[in-house]
């Protein structure tokens, strides 16, 4: 089996590739443009694996993507390449439209062209697996509801709107053209190699450096947290066993407020790297961001019922592993932080 992974140098994509190469016999083709959050250091442990190939390509480049399909003849596509940071989408939505919508459209068209060349036997194995987010569903504020696969879309930010649009494109290519596609919508991921601008790694690193731990608003926003290695396994299961045309929601069964997340980080650091003052003393509150959704929560019963999949890690075990990883891998995050600071000093826009 050959799996083409887009965005494989990113956080979730690299976790998926590490899983595929260490736990399966699949061949993996990693397509990534290596924008600011793409980092080949995430794949150091598998970069020399005989079943791994890297192609530095923009997913909007139709000619280059066509060449990848012709050269590698993938059995499946798992599409993760995306701009994914809400704050960045508010400041500059254009990049999100380009990558998340136009990039997905290009991949769908290249996949459709390739699919038409396959034998009937090969067509039965092919799947275009689009990896999306729970943010497309909008806000669950004031309800006890969970996002199931039939929940209506109501995106709040340019990021979530661009992902919602790409989800609709994927389903349209299944309905209109018969391209075998499926969609997964996941909750907030966390774990090793997470880009330092995201909440959990940012709080860990700021705490270690004695910087303020800034929380939006009152910190009562609720998210469902999924350990990235649990997500990687779920993606492989869906790509190999999922039914074309279906949607599968992947969640961690761990609803936590942002304040609780930061407090848990502080408690773990108090134990592992004790200081005279408590890390929680660094917590501050800042003005909430525009359109900030209050609550997300995934109903992942379909994953359990169809595939017997449930996350292995609780939030407590996964968060502890994550904190320990950052403590033991300072070279990785210092290199990433150095690149961010260098680009900032040079006035280079992070795309």
Tokens 């595929």 identify what position? 20
Q: Which of 41, 67, 52 is nearest to 5 (CA)?
A: 52
* Residue 271 annotated in active site: no
- Dihedral sign for Cα 87, 93, 94, 97, please: positive
Measuring CA to CA, how many Å separate 9 from each of 35, 43, 169, 191, 330? 9, 7, 24, 15, 19
The tokens for 284 are 């501050």
Catalytic residue among 27, 55, 83, 134: 134
Catalytic residue among 27, 55, 95, 135: 135
Q: How far apart are CA 60 and CA 63, in angstroms?
A: 9
Q: Which of 12, 52, 8 is nearest to 34 (CA)?
A: 8
* Residue 135 annotated in active site: yes
Catalytic residue among 105, 137, 159, 326: 159
> Mapping DSSP to helix (H, G, I), strand (E, B) and coil, where does residue 304 land?
helix
Q: How many residues does the chain have?
A: 351
Q: Which residues carry out catalysis?
A: 134-135, 159
């Amino acid at each position: 089996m050959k799996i083409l992974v887009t965005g494989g140098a990113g956080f979730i994509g690299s976790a998926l590739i590490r899983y595929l190469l260490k736990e399966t016999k699949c061949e993996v083709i990693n397509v990534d443009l290596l924008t600011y959050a793409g980092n080949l250091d995430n794949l150091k442990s598998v970069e020399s694996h005989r079943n791994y190939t890297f192609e530095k390509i923009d997913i909007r480049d139709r000619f280059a993507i066509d060449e990848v399909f012709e050269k590698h003849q993938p059995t499946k596509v798992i599409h993760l390449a995306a701009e994914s940071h809400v704050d960045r989408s508010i400041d500059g939505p254009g990049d999100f439209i380009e990558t998340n919508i136009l990039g997905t459209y290009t991949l769908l068209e290249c996949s459709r062209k390739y699919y038409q060349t396959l034998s009937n036997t090969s067509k039965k194995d092919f799947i275009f697996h689009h990896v999306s987010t729970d943010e497309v569903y909008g806000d669950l504020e004031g309800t006890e509801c969970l996002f199931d696969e039939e929940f209506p879309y109501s995106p709040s930010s340019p990021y979530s709107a661009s992902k919602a649009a790409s989800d609709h494109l994927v389903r349209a290519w299944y309905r209109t053209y018969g391209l075998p596609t499926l969609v997964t919508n996941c909750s907030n991921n966390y774990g090793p190699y997470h880009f330092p601008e995201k909440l959990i790694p940012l709080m860990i690193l700021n705490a270690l450096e004695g910087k303020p731990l800034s929380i939006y608003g009152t910190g009562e926003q609720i998210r469902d947290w999924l350990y990235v290695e649990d997500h990687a396994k779920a993606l492989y299961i869906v790509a190999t066993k999922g039914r074309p045309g279906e949607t599968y929601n992947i969640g961690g069964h761990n609803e936590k407020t942002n304040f609780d997340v930061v407090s848990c980080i502080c408690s773990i650091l108090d134990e592992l790297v004790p200081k005279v003052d408590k890390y929680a003393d660094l917590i501050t509150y800042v003005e909430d961001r525009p359109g900030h959704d209050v609550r997300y929560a995934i109903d992942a019963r379909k994953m359990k019922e169809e595939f017997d999949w449930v996350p292995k890690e609780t939030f407590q075990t996964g968060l502890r592993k994550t904190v320990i990883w950052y403590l033991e891998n300072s070279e990785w995050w210092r290199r990433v932080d150095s690149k961010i600071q260098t680009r900032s000093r040079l006035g280079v826009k992070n795309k």
